[in-house]
Structure 1
Amino acid sequence: MTKIAFYGSSLLSAYWNGAATYYRGILRALAARGYDITFYEPDVHDRQQNRDIDPPDWARVVVYDGTVPALRDAAAKAATADIVVKASGVGFQDDLLLTEVVAAARPDALRIFWDVDAPATLAELHASPDHPLRAALPDLDLVLTYGGGQPVIGAYRALGARDCVPVYNALDPDTHHPVPPEPRFACDMAFLGNRLPDREARVAAWFFAPAAACPEARFLLGGSGWQGHGMPDNVRALGHVPTRDHNALNASARMVLNIARDSMAETGFSPATRVFEAAGAGACIVTDAWKGVEMFLEPGEEILVARDGQDVADFVAQILPPEAERIGRNALARVLNEHTYTHRAALADDLFRARLAAARETA
């Protein structure tokens, strides 16, 4: 059985950890294809105090202290794996972790950097010619990203990566699926997202401004960090929404809004995890415009694309429940047919098998 040692932010907690759904989906699907997975995560940022799942039966989870000695001990375990993955944004001594993990990996192991925020990582690399990741890229076997399309592929190759392949976000239908609506989440438009510096201006333009333009409509805001932010009277802020409530929120709103962060919108081809979560619940999704959306959902039929806040306000005024329900049904059918983590794991499995076989032939 092929062993994967995966070093990431957290598998057990989605608290300030937007990659959790992605990790869970892709790794669970890889486990179903026969991989033996151990996930290493540091005990930092109160994530272990805010777990939203128990340790799963499809992966071992090793939680190590947020100290350098504990990091080095965890990184040394990479020597036991056939595939060693260092993800971006682990949240504690990322550069040191990369160095230690690569050094510990066996010569015949497949060494992968898995970037869950490629636009941010690439901006950091371009700004720092002596960045440890930049120096490590030529020695890594593969860079995987959860989005970015050709611009990200080209950028990584230009920086010295041997290869870069996007493995996009997707749906885990066992986790995100239609449920009965709940009155506590009833609204005309819902948006779920933490307050982040490179998202705040877009939330103001695509969510708060349409709410102000539609005072008779009900807007629901979920996510951490919004307390104290001025907002129209018809916006109800929920604070942090546990993952166990995401299906109910997505199924209860007439429409669900997706707003990309600045870097993601500029790079394109990077649908957020929440797009697939909402589609999986049968929600009518309204998204701010980004290049490549049609690769995943058909505008007008499976998703609504807003060029600006006025378009969002117009959708709130014009898209009545029957039409919203039709679009949501279409989105659910499309993602089940083409965009599940089972589909994504098949791609990753093919990549792993081909590269491991090539390594054995040259050994």
Structure 2
Amino acid sequence: MKLVVLGLSLSSSWGNGHATTYRALLSAFAERGHDILFLERDVPWYAGQRDLAAPDFCRLAFYDDLAALEDWRGEIAAADAVIVGSYVPDGIAVGQWVQRHARGVTAFYDIDTPVTLAALREGTCAYLSPELIAGYDLYCSFTGGPTLDLLEERYGSAMARALYCSVDTRAYRPMEVPRQWDLSYLGTYSADRQPTLEKLLIEPARLMPDKRFVVAGPQYPDDIDWPANVERIEHLPPADHPAFYSASRYTLNVTRADMIAAGWSPSVRLFEAAACGTTIISDVWPGLSDLLAPNREIIFADKTEQMLVFLHEDKRAIGAAARDRILAAHGADARAAELEQMIGEAALVRQRLVAAE
């Protein structure tokens, strides 16, 4: 299969979870024998922070603006499938251009489905419109559950399927490193996540000065009052994630409000941490228990007092069980096979529609 992907970024993981998702998925997809071209908008904030400028599993090319996509029109037309990702700059215009020129399956890969749907309701989505949803042959969603029915019934998607994020289990694995922290958190600052981070990490740090904490990720405001036992790491490249998780006794998973409301929206960080065998403490939302079993493969918490108890206990067996679950069902190999099947199904539907015309 020849696949073209127009995504937010493959080259830079700075301030986004898209790059690591694409890297794991497309690397596994290439191993299944497929040819991949990734087209990335050349923007200064990623150009200065590239940590994968020359991937070995696909061709990576940059374009300056919508007009520059004309240079790739032949590749788009010849592809068996073309995927446009969420948050692509000028994504509506890019999607319209792809739907005009692609001859194979067209798909939208939404790595931010609840955020997308909220923006669509408010009429503020810059990368997707209701008309585009109906025009794509396939809608691959980071969110499963009832959201898939909503996409088909309200927005006219021809085929909405859950394509959760995945993890490269060869890269994300337990590392033999010294334990540095009792509790870690890896994530870009988000205003709607910050109250949970305060409750489940910052306040426990204040109350447990003998424990060690770390928060890794960019864009945190300067006015946050970090306790002295909370280490800050501004940016942690993906290559350093396995060692980071392996150096953590527990790691925290905090979910954005829109994704909690939608449910069935696991983040890539959740799968990465689990693949490293680190015991995860997470906020609670619908569908999470379908992915990792509570108290056996993951721990749920919503109060500071719970954290004070957990941080005095040894729950390593839960982290080991979560890793087993990820290896069995949520690795990049499994996700690439799912994408291949979805594209095949969409191609059959497309062929039937063309024949009917």
Q: Is 2:169 the partner of 1:169?
A: no
In structure 2, do the counterparts of structure 1 residues 358 and 225 end up closer, same or farther at CA, with 3 Å as the change threshold? Answer: closer
Contact 1:8 1:41 in 2 (8 A): yes
What does residue range 206-245 of structure 1 map to in structure 2 within 5 Å?
Answer: 206-226=200-220, 228=222, 229-245=224-240
CA distance in structure 2 between the partners assigned to 1:234 and 1:153 by the alignment: 43
Whichever residue aligns with residue 15 of structure 2, its letter is W
In structure 2, do the counterparts of structure 1 residues 284 and 75 end up closer, same or farther at CA, with 3 Å as the change threshold? Answer: farther
Contact 1:206 1:259 in 2 (8 A): no
Q: TM-score, normalised by structure 2?
A: 0.92
Alignment size in residue pairs: 351
CA distance in structure 2 between the partners assigned to 1:310 and 1:73 by the alignment: 58
CA distance in structure 2 between the partners assigned to 1:45 and 1:165 by the alignment: 33
Contact 1:187 1:219 in 2 (8 A): yes
Q: Is 2:91 the partner of 1:94?
A: yes
Deviation at 1:130, TM superposition (A): 9.8
Deviation at 1:10, TM superposition (A): 1.2
More displaced 10-residue stretch of structure 1: 274-283 or 120-129: 120-129
CA distance in structure 2 between the partners assigned to 1:269 and 1:355 by the alignment: 23
2:137 corresponding residue in structure 1: 141
In structure 2, do the counterparts of structure 1 residues 174 and 75 end up closer, same or farther at CA, with 3 Å as the change threshold? Answer: farther
Q: Is 2:306 the partner of 1:311?
A: yes
What does residue range 177-216 of structure 1 map to in structure 2 within 5 Å?
Answer: 177-182=173-178, 186-216=180-210
Select the residue among 151, 156, 160 that pairs with 1:156.
151
- Name the SS for the 2:249 alignment partner: strand
2:120 corresponding residue in structure 1: 125
In structure 2, do the counterparts of structure 1 residues 130 and 237 end up closer, same or farther at CA, with 3 Å as the change threshold? Answer: closer
Deviation at 1:332, TM superposition (A): 1.1
- Name the SS for the 2:233 alignment partner: strand
CA distance in structure 2 between the partners assigned to 1:155 and 1:46 by the alignment: 34
Contact 1:297 1:303 in 2 (8 A): yes
Select the residue among 322, 337, 341 that pairs with 1:331.
322
Deviation track 1:98-157 (CA, whole Å, cap 9, x = no partner) reads: 121211212xx11111100000100111112998621122221111112x2223212212
2:83 corresponding residue in structure 1: 85
Deviation at 1:45, TM superposition (A): 4.3
Deviation track 1:25-80 (CA, whole Å, cap 9, x = no partner) reads: 11122212222111100111421221222422221111112x34224544664212
In structure 2, do the counterparts of structure 1 residues 160 and 309 end up closer, same or farther at CA, with 3 Å as the change threshold? Answer: farther
Contact 1:75 1:100 in 2 (8 A): no
Q: Superposition RMSD on alpha carbons, in Å?
A: 2.0
Select the residue among 94, 100, 103 that pairs with 1:103.
100
More displaced 10-residue stretch of structure 1: 341-350 or 45-54: 45-54
1:32 corresponding residue in structure 2: 31
Deviation track 1:287-308 (CA, whole Å, cap 9, x = no partner) reads: 1111111211111111111133
CA distance in structure 2 between the partners assigned to 1:155 and 1:310 by the alignment: 38
Deviation track 1:322-361 (CA, whole Å, cap 9, x = no partner) reads: xx32122111111111211111122221121223234345
CA distance in structure 2 between the partners assigned to 1:14 and 1:308 by the alignment: 31
Q: Is 2:259 the partner of 1:264?
A: yes
In structure 2, do the counterparts of structure 1 residues 103 and 289 end up closer, same or farther at CA, with 3 Å as the change threshold? Answer: same
Contact 2:215 2:230 in 1 (8 A): yes
Deviation track 1:142-183 (CA, whole Å, cap 9, x = no partner) reads: 11112x222321221211212210011222112211111246
CA distance in structure 2 between the partners assigned to 1:280 and 1:129 by the alignment: 36
Contact 2:116 2:125 in 1 (8 A): no
Structure 1 vs Structure 2: percent identity of aligned residues? 31
Deviation at 1:203, TM superposition (A): 1.8
- Name the SS for the 1:47 alignment partner: helix
CA distance in structure 1 between the partners assigned to 2:125 and 2:228 by the alignment: 49
CA distance in structure 2 between the partners assigned to 1:291 and 1:212 by the alignment: 30
Select the residue among 61, 69, 73 that pairs with 2:67.
69
Contact 1:75 1:97 in 2 (8 A): no
CA distance in structure 2 between the partners assigned to 1:156 and 1:26 by the alignment: 23
Whichever residue aligns with residue 6 of structure 1, its letter is V
2:339 corresponding residue in structure 1: 348
Contact 2:84 2:95 in 1 (8 A): yes
Contact 1:171 1:336 in 2 (8 A): no
2:270 corresponding residue in structure 1: 275
Contact 2:13 2:238 in 1 (8 A): yes
2:8 corresponding residue in structure 1: 9
Deviation at 1:269, TM superposition (A): 0.9
